[in-house]
Amino acid sequence: MRRDGTRWMVSGAVTLANVGAVLAEGAKEVRAGVRTIDLGEVTEIDSSLLAAMLSWMRDARREGAEIGFTNMPEGLATIARLYGVDGLLPGATQHH
Closest CA to 94 of 19, 80, 46, 28: 80
**Has residue 94 been placed in a domain?**
no
Q: How many domains does the chain have?
A: 1
pLDDT at position 86 over 90: no
CA distance 12 to 15: 10
pLDDT digits 0-9 by tens, 35-62: 999 999 999 999 999 999 999 999 999 9
Q: Please give the average per-residue pLDDT across 57-80, as a whole number.
A: 92
Q: Domain range spanning residue 20?
A: 2-88
- How does the average pLDDT of the chain come out, rounded? 91
Domain membership of residue 54 (yes or no) is yes
- The CATH number for 35's domain is 3.30.750.24
Residue 11 scores a pLDDT above 60: yes
Phi, psi of 43 (to 5 degrees): -105, -25
